[in-house]
Structure formats: structure tokens, C-alpha cells
């Protein structure tokens, strides 16, 4: 690979002070080289990743409206969510690795175009079948997460990486909250199809800016995509996530559910075998075994179970008619507004974590974020009789989400080689999604296991569900305690000071 000074613009006086072979060239240039498109690059990444995160939750409150408009059944309309989940789970790590191999910008632009096509197709969908296909296409956008983190690592100054990843993580986390809050007003004022028209405009604008201003990353992994490994990865993910999402309708003891779980175990073992023997594995298992990686992924699995379950069940809880003995009979819009404190808190804490990470470390922020999630769920299990209590709990959980999202991304990015950033962060996002699917499935069993004569869940079902989520988040905090202490940021700051001192001395 050519020296960095050949592929980027560096002021001549600086280059003269640190000629090739000086031992400080790459470090110095990475710390001080001017980057003219940093803000535009971040804006593109934030727009793409934020829209994908928003699409994940935006359609959920509108499913009854979609069911009525497209004249379909409740069991069929749930595939609008399931198809998106499965597609994202498959494409996130695969395209993250493709970006490492052929170029992150090129892959980013292709993914943005695909998401725009998927949103356009969904907005025009004349039937539920077309809408489900459109959601599969949109799921390709899951790759925006690992690609964005990889571009930040490659293109931003070392002193900016941690803060930029934290800010992007805040946007990603807030995107899910925006979907919950905005769905009701958009459907009420316009139509459910505008849930897709609005993202079309945003993604097209982001794509045009990306083509012009986002630089192509100089770091490339060697080798090719391990396609047998990609097929096996896709197969075991679908075999695992499909029964988790459909077990409520199929039955946990049904042949389909048990058969798919058994298939997932076999396919997972075959995938591990394929990756271990491949010269160019899709997911480097040695990287996955790094202490900082596997402990962070364990925390992601457990915290994801709590986070996605809160997003799924808290709006339903507040929409339950008060005749059930609990709930507030809130509309979709009112339920979204009760979630607004979570949206604000997760964005603010995500941005703040970028300032705190150099001081306290990403590990401490992950432990704190998971602990706040456990505290919020514990409060929710005990106190949920007033709307202000729901709002306070939502805000507290939002603080935890913002801290945890940002710290997980920083821990993974700071612990893996540059040419593995896309695949590693893609798997972290996938593991968080798997945790969410498991948490939502188990919570659904607790909530809907015993129903009132009216068909509504008993209050105890929600209480037990929230208690379980509190324990899962607490387990995530304990797993985060096992993450090795990072010194990357402190070392980068020290290197910055040394280089500046050298520049001043030689100047």
C-alpha cells in the first residue's frame, strides 16, 4: 500500500518536516492532515444510518393501518417487520465485509441507492406481497452501520474518531426513537405511504452528496468474499430469527419452530467450520475471540434484548385501555409522545458520551448505560400507574441506550484491525438484533401467556416482562465489566502531544 501522504493532500511544510521513513509519517499525517469534507461525510453517514434505524421502528405503529389498507390478515402483515429483520441480519455483516474488500465508499453508495429503491417500491406498493419484497430490499441498508463506522475510522483524524462514532451512534439510536414518535402524526396527517416517501427524499440527497464528497477509504482487506461462509451465515441467521419472530403464532412446541432451531444449530456449526478453514473468512474468528470483542458482543446481546423489547412493548402498554386495570388508552400519537423523553435522552447522552469517553473510557460508559437500562426496567415493573412515571422511565432508559450504543461501537472499532472494521461492527449490530429478537420473543410469552376474557394481557404479564428485561440489562452491565480497559484514546492523545511538540521543536 502506498504511504498515506501520496493518497491525501498534506501541506508541503509539514511533509518536509516528516519525510517518508521518518517513523512518524503515518501517525503525524493521520493526526494533522486536513480533511475538507469531514462534516459533509458525517452528514451523509448520519442521514443514511439514521433513516435505516428509523425505518426499523417507523412502520410498527402503523401495521394495523397497513393491514386495513392492503386488505390482508394480521399474521401476514407482521411479515412487513419480519422480512426487514431477516434481510438486515443477512446483509449487515456480508456487505460490511464487502466494503472492507472493494472499498467502503463504493459499497456505501450502492447500499444507499438500494435503500432508496426499496423505499420507493414500498411507497408505491399495490399489495402486501410487494410491500414485503420492498422491506427485504430496504433491509440491505443494515450495512450502513458497519460501513459508516469504517469510513469514520479511515477518514477522520484519530482525535475525532471516538467523538464521531459516538455522535453517529446517537443518531442511530435516536432514529429508532424518531420512528416510534413520528409514525402516528405522519399517518394521521398524511398517509402510511409517507412513512416511505419521506425517507426516499432523504436517502436520494445523501446519495448525491456521498458520490461527490465522501472520499474512498485507502484501507482494503486482502482476498475475496468467502461465499460458502456467507451462504451458511445467512442460513443460520434466518433459521434462528424466523422461529423467534413467528413462535407466538406457530407455537413454541411446533415442528416448524423446533425444526428451525435444530437447523440453526447445525448450520452454525457448519459456518464455524467453513470460516475456520477459509483463507479469507467472512468473519475472522480470531478477531471475534479477542477479549474486548467477545465481551462487548455479549453485552450487546443482553442489552439488545432489553432495548428492543422496551421499544416493542412499552407503547402497547400505554395504549391498553384503562378498563384492563392498567394502561392509559393512549392513541398511537399519544403513545409516541410518551416515548419522546427517550428520544431526547438517547440523543443527548450519545453525543455526550463522545466527550466523556476520553476521560472515563468506553467500558465505563457501557457499564453505566446497561445499568441505567436495568434501573429503568426495574422502576417500570414497580411504578407504572401514572403517565409521568412512564415518561421518566423512558428518559432514563434513553440515557442508557445513548451511552451503550456509542461505547459498544467505540470498543469494537478500537479493538480490531482496520481491514476488519466493517465485518466486526456488522456482527456486533447483528448480535444486538439477535438479542432483541430473543428478548422480544420471551417477553411476548410472558405478556400474552395468560389473557383476560377481553383478550387483553393481565398486568402481571407486563410486570414479569419488565422484571425480566431489568435482569437482562443487569447481566449486560456485568458482562461489560469483563471488557478489558481500553487505553487507545489516551495513547492517541499522548501521540498527538508528542507530534505537536516535535513539530514545534523542528519548526
Instruction: Please tell me the least confidently modeled range out of 354-358, 417-421, 475-479.
Output: 417-421
Q: Which helix (H) or strand (E) holds 5?
A: helix 4-7
DSSP-assigned states of every residue in 298-357: HHHHHHHHHHHHHHHHHHHHHHS-GGGTS-----HHHHHHHTHHHHHHHHHHHHHHHHHH
| Coil, strand or helix at 457 | strand
Confidence of residue 494 (pLDDT cuts 50, 70, 90): very low
- Give the mean pLDDT of 408-422: 83
Which comes out higher in pLDDT, residue 120 or 62? 120
pLDDT digits (tens, 9 = 90+) for 192-201: 899 999 999 9
The separation between CA 260 and the C-alpha centre of its own chain, rounded to angstroms, equals 25
DSSP-assigned states of every residue in 220-273: ---S---HHHHHHHHHHHHHHHHHHHHHHHH-TTSHHHHHHHHHHHHHHHHHHH
Query: Per-residue pLDDT for 405 more than 80?
Result: yes
pLDDT digits (tens, 9 = 90+) for 252-263: 889 999 999 999
- Give the mean pLDDT of 205-222: 82
- Give the mean pLDDT of 228-244: 88
Residue 482 pairs in a beta bridge with none
Q: What is the pLDDT of residue 149?
A: 86
- Cβ-contact 380, 395 below 8 angstroms: no
Q: What is the pLDDT of residue 487?
A: 52
CA atoms of 436 and 420, how far apart (whole Å): 24
- For the whole model, what pTM was predicted? 0.77
Instruction: Please tell me the least confidently modeled range out of 151-155, 296-300, 499-503.
Output: 499-503
- Give the mean pLDDT of 177-196: 85
Domains of the chain as residue ranges with CATH: 37-225+280-506 (1.20.1250.20), 226-279 (no CATH)
- Give the mean pLDDT of 114-137: 94
User: What are the φ/ψ torsions at residue 457 (nearest 5 degrees)?
Assistant: -65, 155
pLDDT digits (tens, 9 = 90+) for 43-96: 889 888 888 888 887 887 788 888 888 988 877 887 888 888 888 888 888 888
C-alpha cell read off for 222: 486482502
pLDDT digits (tens, 9 = 90+) for 284-308: 888 888 899 999 999 999 998 888 8
Amino acid at each position: 500500500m502506498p504511504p498515506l501522504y501520496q493518497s491525501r493532500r498534506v501541506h508541503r511544510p509539514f511533509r518536509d518536516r516528516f519525510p517518508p521513513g521518518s517513523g512518524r509519517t503515518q501517525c503525524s499525517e493521520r493526526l494533522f492532515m486536513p480533511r475538507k469534507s469531514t462534516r459533509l461525510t458525517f452528514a451523509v453517514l448520519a442521514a443514511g444510518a439514521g433513516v435505516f434505524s428509523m425505518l426499523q421502528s417507523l412502520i410498527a405503529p402503523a401495521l394495523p393501518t397497513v393491514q386495513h389498507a392492503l386488505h390482508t390478515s394480521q399474521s401476514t402483515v407482521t411479515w412487513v417487520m419480519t422480512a426487514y429483520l431477516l434481510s438486515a441480519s443477512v446483509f449487515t455483516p456480508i456487505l460490511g465485509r464487502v466494503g472492507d474488500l472493494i472499498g467502503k465508499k463504493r459499497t456505501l453508495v450502492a447500499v444507499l441507492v438500494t435503500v432508496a429503491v426499496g423505499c420507493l417500491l414500498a411507497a408505491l406498493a399495490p399489495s402486501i406481497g410487494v410491500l414485503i419484497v420492498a422491506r427485504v430490499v430496504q433491509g440491505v441498508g443494515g450495512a450502513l452501520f458497519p460501513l459508516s463506522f469504517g469510513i469514520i475510522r479511515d477518514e477522520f483524524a484519530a482525535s475525532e474518531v471516538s467523538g464521531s462514532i459516538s455522535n453517529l451512534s446517537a443518531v442511530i439510536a435516536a432514529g429508532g426513537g424518531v420512528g416510534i414518535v413520528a409514525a402516528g402524526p405522519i399517518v394521521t396527517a398524511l398517509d402510511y405511504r409517507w412513512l416511505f416517501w419521506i425517507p426516499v427524499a432523504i436517502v436520494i440527497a445523501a446519495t448525491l452528496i456521498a458520490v461527490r464528497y465522501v472520499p474512498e477509504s485507502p484501507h482494503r482487506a486482502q482476498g475475496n468474499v468467502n461465499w460458502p461462509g456467507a451462504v451458511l451465515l445467512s442460513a443460520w441467521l434466518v433459521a434462528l430469527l424466523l422461529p423467534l419472530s413467528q413462535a407466538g403464532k406457530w407455537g413454541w412446541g411446533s415442528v416448524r419452530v423446533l425444526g428451525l432451531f435444530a437447523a440453526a444449530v447445525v448450520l452454525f456449526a457448519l459456518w464455524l467450520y467453513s470460516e475456520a478453514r477459509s483463507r479469507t473468512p467472512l468473519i475472522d474468528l480470531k478477531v471475534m475471540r479477542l477479549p474486548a470483542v467477545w465481551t462487548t458482543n455479549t453485552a450487546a446481546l443482553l442489552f439488545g434484548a432489553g432495548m428492543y423489547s422496551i421499544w416493542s412493548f412499552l407503547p402497547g402498554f400505554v395504549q391498553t385501555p384503562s378498563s384492563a386495570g392498567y394502561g392509559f388508552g393512549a392513541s398511537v400519537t399519544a403513545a409516541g409522545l410518551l416515548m419522546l423523553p427517550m428520544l431526547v435522552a438517547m440523543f443527548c447522552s450519545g453525543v455526550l458520551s463522545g466527550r466523556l469517553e476520553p476521560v472515563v473510557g468506553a467500558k465505563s460508559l457501557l457499564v453505566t448505560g446497561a445499568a441505567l437500562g436495568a434501573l429503568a426496567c426495574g422502576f417500570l415493573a414497580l411504578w407504572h400507574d401514572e403517565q409521568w412515571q412512564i415518561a421518566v422511565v423512558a428518559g432514563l432508559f434513553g440515557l442508557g441506550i445513548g451511552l451503550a450504543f456509542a461505547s459498544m461501537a467505540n470498543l469494537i472499532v478500537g479493538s480490531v484491525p482496520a481491514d476488519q472494521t466493517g465485518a466486526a461492527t456488522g456482527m456486533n449490530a447483528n448480535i444486538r438484533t439477535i438479542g432483541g429478537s430473543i428478548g422480544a420473543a420471551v417477553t411476548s410469552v410472558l405478556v400474552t401467556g395468560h389473557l383476560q376474557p377481553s383478550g387483553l394481557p393481565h398486568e402481571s404479564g407486563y410486570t414479569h416482562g419488565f422484571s425480566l428485561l431489568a435482569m437482562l440489562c443487569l447481566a449486560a452491565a456485568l458482562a461489560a465489566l469483563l471488557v478489558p480497559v481500553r487505553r487507545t484514546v489516551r495513547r492517541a492523545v499522548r501521540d498527538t502531544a508528542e507530534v505537536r511538540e516535535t513539530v514545534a521543536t523542528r519548526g
